[in-house]
Amino acid sequence: MSRAERLNPGAAYADRLCAVMDSVPRPMWLRAPDLSIISVNRAYARIVGAADQVSAAVMGLELSIGDYGWEKGELARRVRRTGVEQTESMGIVVDGKRRLFQISEAPLADGWIAGWADEMTAVDALQSSLVAHMEAHQEVLEHLRAGVAVFDAERRLRFFNRAYARMWGLDVDWLSTNPLLPDILEILRSKRRLPEVTDFAEFRRRIERRFQSLLGSQEGLVHLPDGRCFREIAAPHPLGGLLFVWEDVTDRLALESSYNTLINVQRGVLDQLADGVAAFGTDGRVTVFNPVFQTLLGLENGALDAGVHITDLLSQIKEKFRPKAEWGGFQNQAVLGVTDRQASRHRLFAEDGHILDVAFAPLSDASVLMSVRDITDTYSVEKALLDRNAALEEASRLKTDFLANASYELRTPLTSISGFAELLALPHSGPLNDTQKDYLAGITEASATLALLIDSILEVSTGGEDLQRSDVAEIALGPLIESVAMVMRTQLANNGVELRIEYDPVRVQGPPTVQAEESRLRQLVYNLLSCAARHNRGSAEIVLTCSYSPDTIKLSVWLRSDWQWLDRQLIENELNLTLIQRLSALHHGRMILQNRAETGVVLSCMLPRRALSFPAAGGMDGVFPAKAV
């Protein structure tokens, strides 16, 4: 220390104090009792735009003087008046930029006042950013469907969204007053919107204890008396207190319950199926199967688990089926059916005699269903039916051959009989008396009738052929019916039966015409009348009714028959019915049998007027219509 410093230590101390103040980066100043600035540091002089500290002090430049309307030394006068430190924030333009400073002044001894300023620009920016972030966060929470509420450390509601008020049925204006959590619980209790508990006080204390003990998020379900169920999440809030989130999961739980019930029902149905089924995922592994699946494939219980690959499954059952030479082809097709989702069907023969039908079918969820059905009994019945059908076909062929041969054998003597009868009737054979002439006429008529019957039998035995356009002619139905009726009248008259032909008086204006083959149409009419004569049961009259429309011809006779059932076997046992059915089909028509209560059966033939305008009828279609009224 120099001699001058030892003689005047106060001046040296003041210089050091000024040096210390100049080293501080924030503005500092010292006021005299009259509130004038007598000393500032370098940072102060730079902010107020002075050349140096002395100039700033001499000129009395104030930080608070400017566009803010503060009077000179206002904060200092407040310090002198109150005797305590005063702090105020204000914006000051420094280097052309506005900055925020926190100005503080504190009283010293003997009326002196010390002042300093801290720049708060960065802090203010952070606070503004935080406020904006919190507002944006609250805006997001406001649009959530889940209810959100934030309580501070004092259990007071600080934030809520409208979903929270809607879910709990609380008034928005009342919630905006920031009520305490216990008050909210009391309101909810009065409205029965809290879980039913026996000790509400303990329930409330348990909720409030979370504010001291909850360190992490806590999740649970809240079941309300009205049937709703909320998923509740409670977690500590970063700014203190707790954050609560409630999500209404009533519909989701109901959906999950319905889904689980459906799965259980489907599982029960699968377990009760007589067929074995298994589903394979896209990786070729079993995802689900029923017990019958294991049983039919000869696997023991527990031998098949979910996750087994199709190749491993086939390896397990390979030795249980035959023939071995064909197993490789089946295995390749089965693997392709599962991996490439190709539909296929296979038949497996087990070593124990069982026969399995195996099918692969792709499902809508990209998986593949493998079904196994035991068809041992069905296969045996099918084989027996095929054998029986082959035997019946052979018997039918033999019967047809017999009828054909018998008919041809009958035709030869019949031709001789009719030929000799015609020779005897000629004049050069000698004179004949009336009795002889009647006998020859009877022989000729009987021969013609028998020839028609033989032709019909041949038609049945050979199966007939479709009509050709060259065989079809426009035929007047009236003369044809009369010519056949003339032959039948002689036979019926011997039995005291009269044959009458009627035309529908409403529809027919004279006998209609039809396109048909004359010989076969004549056979058809003859067999209709023969069937009516055979099943007359003592009636003195047989009536053949002919009616028609622009498209069809209908020939009908009444059968006084005691038939109880009209079925296929009846037609097969009645030769006339078989002939009528076959001849009707050859003309692209059909035979109809209708049972009339207490009056017998109506036998009808429905024929198209244009023989080739309709497809040929087949089988027994339309032979037995609904019961006629």
Mean pLDDT of 27-56: 85
Mean pLDDT of 438-465: 68
ω before 550 within 30° of 0 (cis)? no
Residue 178's pLDDT band (cuts 50, 70, 90) = very high
pLDDT given for residue 156 in this prediction: 92
pLDDT given for residue 618 in this prediction: 46
Q: What is the rounded distance in angstroms from the CA atom of residue 260 to the CA atom of residue 268?
A: 12
Query: Is 330 a residue whose pLDDT tops 70?
Result: yes
pLDDT given for residue 628 in this prediction: 37
pLDDT given for residue 180 in this prediction: 92
pLDDT given for residue 620 in this prediction: 45
Q: What are phi and psi of 83, to 5 degrees?
A: 75, 15
Residue 430's pLDDT band (cuts 50, 70, 90) = confident
Which residues have CB under 8 Å from 490's CB, separation 6+?
A: 442, 445
What pLDDT, in 10s, does the model give residues 18-32?
Answer: 787 878 888 988 888
C-beta of residue 534 within 8 angstroms of C-beta of residue 576: yes
Q: Give burial (CB, 10 Å; 0-12/13-18/19+) of 364.
A: exposed
Residue 291's pLDDT band (cuts 50, 70, 90) = confident
- Helix, strand or coil, per DSSP, at residue 341: coil
Query: Is 616 a residue whose pLDDT tops 60?
Result: no
Query: Is 70 a residue whose pLDDT tops 70?
Result: no
Higher pLDDT, 399 or 182: 182
CB neighbours of residue 306 within 10 Å: 12
Q: Cα–Cα distances in Å, from 54 out to 39, 212, 420? A: 7, 58, 172
Q: Cα–Cα distances in Å, from 176 out to 138, 156, 208? A: 14, 11, 21
pLDDT given for residue 340 in this prediction: 84
Mean pLDDT of 143-165: 88
Q: What is the rounded distance in angstroms from the CA atom of residue 565 to the CA atom of residue 494?
A: 31
Higher pLDDT, 312 or 326: 312
C-beta of residue 588 within 8 angstroms of C-beta of residue 515: no
What percentage of the chain exceeds 70 in pLDDT? 84
What percentage of the chain exceeds 90 in pLDDT? 6
pLDDT given for residue 617 in this prediction: 46
What pLDDT, in 10s, does the model give residues 196-250?
Answer: 888 888 998 898 888 888 778 889 998 999 889 999 999 998 878 899 999 999 9
pLDDT given for residue 68 in this prediction: 44
pLDDT given for residue 623 in this prediction: 47
Query: Is 67 a residue whose pLDDT tops 50?
Result: no
What pLDDT, in 10s, does the model give residues 179-204?
Answer: 999 999 999 999 998 998 888 889 98
Mean pLDDT of 43-53: 83
Mean pLDDT of 580-592: 84
Higher pLDDT, 550 or 460: 550
Q: What is the rounded distance in angstroms from the CA atom of residue 521 to the CA atom of residue 481?
A: 9
Which residues have CB under 8 Å from 614's CB, separation 6+?
A: 588, 589, 608
Query: Where would I find the H helices in 574-616?
Result: 575-586
pLDDT given for residue 457 in this prediction: 65
What pLDDT, in 10s, does the model give residues 92-132?
Answer: 777 777 888 888 899 988 888 888 888 888 777 787 777 77
pLDDT given for residue 174 in this prediction: 93
pLDDT given for residue 159 in this prediction: 87
C-beta of residue 369 within 8 angstroms of C-beta of residue 360: yes
Q: Cα–Cα distances in Å, from 418 out to 415, 441, 452? A: 5, 10, 13
Whether the CA torsion 140, 142, 143, 149 is positive or negative: it is: positive
Query: Is 561 a residue whose pLDDT tops 50?
Result: yes
